[in-house]
Each structure stands twice: as C-alpha cells, then as structure tokens.
C-alpha cells in the first residue's frame, strides 16, 4: 500500500524521540528486558507499553511477534507500521520509544534510605543515584565505593571489577566534583555505614543464582543481607518469582532453607524479613511460570 512521504516523515521523525533516560533512542539498540512505548495515532487500543521478552521479541495485539533486540526504535516502528497497513489500517502512524532500558540501571546499597536498582540517564553521576535512593541514611559514614563490572572471562565465577573509593563528605559538604564521578549502567554503589567492616577486608563470600542480572559469587562486604546480594548481582530479571526466593545455608543433613519475599522487600514492606548473610550462603531466585 502506498504511504505518503508526509506520513513516513512523521513516523520516522517522531521515532527518534528522546527516551526516558535522556538520550536519543535512535542511537540505542534495543535489548531483552527493555520496555517499549508504542503509540499508534488515533488507535489507543493498539498503543501502550510493550516489553521485549528474553527471546528479543515484542508482541503486539494485532501485528504479532516483532523482532526487537539489536534493532533501533525506527526499525521496529517501521516493521510495525508495515504489518498494520498490510492487514488492518490504511495509513498507520507509529511512534516507538524506549520507556525503560533494562541495561541502564545502577544498584545502590548500604547506608541509603531506599536501597534498590534505579534507572540512570546517560550523564548520571554518583549524587544523582544517591538522591534517587532517598539520600544517605543516619548510619552512613560518608564514604562509598563505586564498583564498575567489566566483561567476565570464562575462567572466573564473576566479572572482574574496577573500584573507586569516594569521599562523600567532600561531595556533600564541600561540593568537590572529583567526589562525584559519572556512573554507568550495571555499576554498583555501596555506601558504607559506621557499623560495617571496611570494604575489601578479608570476608566470606556468597553465591547468587537464578533470575538475577549477574549470577555469581560476591563478597560479604558488598552483600551483607539477602537484598544487598540481589542488588549487587544487578537486581531481579523480569522473569523472577521474587517472593519465592530461597536462602540456602549448609550442606547435606545440616542444610537449611529459608524463603525470602524479595518482591515485598523491594516494595518497602516493613515487616518482611531480610536475613543477614554468612560466608558460604546460597541465594536462589527461581523463574516465574506465569
């Protein structure tokens, strides 16, 4: 079907709209776990949020399964428009933007008001993510460590990391820019507390497996509780059965299992247990079947 140049120009022009993290979506390659916002002009029933599943596809109520991973929003919008015009609409005007990027997140844990995983803009800095986490808690000792994971090698259980020690007092009290470095997707910011051991001290290790972004082995100085361990492992995937997580301790006849309601913890429910970890603990986050 013939489509006017005006309509095509509108579609492609709007398709490069700014994404939720503040950079042009046109330069971004979509990935599994991203949330796309689809808008079909004058068709609200065909519009709305559309997640990209683990196979890299987006499923639309009329157009069906559309490959999205490693494509731009313009490419997805163009294919969606072509499918709609082939069978359903005469001249479809389609806008696709990235509403939420699974890869543009930073974990904040330790002595902050609301530990968690937060989306970040392309130019975000440490102060931005501390603010997103509600600021420092009363037990913060005004120091922090920014952990940047690099690519894992086959010989290692976890990805190697680069650590930067930060003086938050210099940032908050004196406004020193050197204490406010940029953060990148996948980074972990650990804000130390007055009652915690120095980061990097000789401590035990715990393993996190299942539906988290980066399964692996982590030091207790980074992951003092179950929630800390999940956050330092990059947070839950969209397929996690969050409230069916398990803390496994010991082996054989001495093995103990405790259910942990991670979904409730992440939603801030005060009465939900967040067990402290010991060296050798295993955290299992199962896959949801629904």
pLDDT at 120: 80
pLDDT score recorded for residue 41:
94
| Residue 149 pLDDT | 63
Question: Is 31 buried (19+), middle (13-18) or exposed (0-12) by CB count in 10 A?
Answer: middle
Enter the tokens of residue 14: 């709007």
Mean pLDDT per block of 10 residues along the chain (290 residues) reads 36 35 57 89 93 90 93 95 92 91 80 83 87 88 81 41 86 89 86 65 75 85 84 86 89 82 80 85 83
Question: What pLDDT, on a 0 to 100 scale, did the predictor assign at position 7?
Answer: 35
Q: pTM score, two decimals?
A: 0.53
Beta carbons within 10 angstroms of residue 138's beta carbon: 8
Instruction: Out of 3.30.1950.10, 3.20.20.140, 3.40.1360.10, 3.40.50.720, select the CATH number for domain 5-100.
Output: 3.30.1950.10
Sheet with 94-100: strands ordered across: 48-51, 35-40, 94-100
The structural architecture, per CATH, of the domain 104-196 is Roll (3.10)
Give residue 67's pLDDT: 96
What ranges do the domains of the chain cover? 5-100, 104-196, 203-290
Q: Which residues contact 246 (CB under 8 A, 6 or more apart)?
A: 257, 258, 259, 260, 283, 284, 286
CB 93 within 8 A of CB 29: no
For position 19, what pLDDT does the model report?
35
């Amino acid at each position: 079907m013939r489509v006017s140049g005006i309509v095509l120009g509108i579609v492609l022009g709007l398709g490069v709209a700014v994404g939720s993290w503040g950079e042009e979506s046109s330069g971004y390659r979509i990935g599994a776990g991203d949330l796309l916002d689809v808008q079909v002009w004058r068709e609200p029933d065909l519009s709305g949020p559309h997640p990209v599943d683990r196979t890299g596809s987006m499923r639309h109520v009329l157009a069906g399964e559309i490959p999205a991973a490693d494509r731009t929003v313009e490419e997805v919008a163009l294919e969606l428009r072509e499918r709609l015009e082939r069978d359903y609409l005469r001249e479809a005007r389609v806008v696709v933007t990235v509403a939420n990027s699974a890869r543009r997140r930073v974990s904040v844990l330790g002595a902050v008001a609301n530990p968690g995983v937060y989306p970040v803009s392309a130019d975000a800095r440490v102060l931005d993510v501390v603010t997103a986490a509600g600021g420092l808690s009363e037990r913060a000792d005004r120091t922090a460590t920014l952990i940047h994971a690099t690519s894992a090698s086959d010989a290692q259980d976890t990805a190697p990391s680069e650590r930067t020690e930060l003086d938050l007092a210099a940032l908050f009290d004196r406004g020193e820019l050197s204490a406010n470095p940029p953060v990148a997707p996948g980074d972990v910011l650990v804000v130390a507390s007055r009652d915690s051991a120095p980061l990097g001290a000789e401590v035990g290790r715990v393993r996190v497996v299942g539906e988290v972004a980066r399964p692996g082995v982590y030091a207790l100085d980074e992951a003092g509780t179950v929630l800390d361990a999940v956050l330092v492992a990059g947070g839950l995937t969209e397929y996690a059965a969050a409230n069916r997580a398990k803390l496994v301790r010991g082996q054989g006849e001495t093995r103990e299992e405790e259910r942990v309601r991670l979904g409730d913890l992440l939603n801030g429910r005060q009465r939900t247990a967040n067990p402290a970890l010991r060296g050798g603990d295993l955290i299992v986050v199962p896959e949801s079947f629904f």
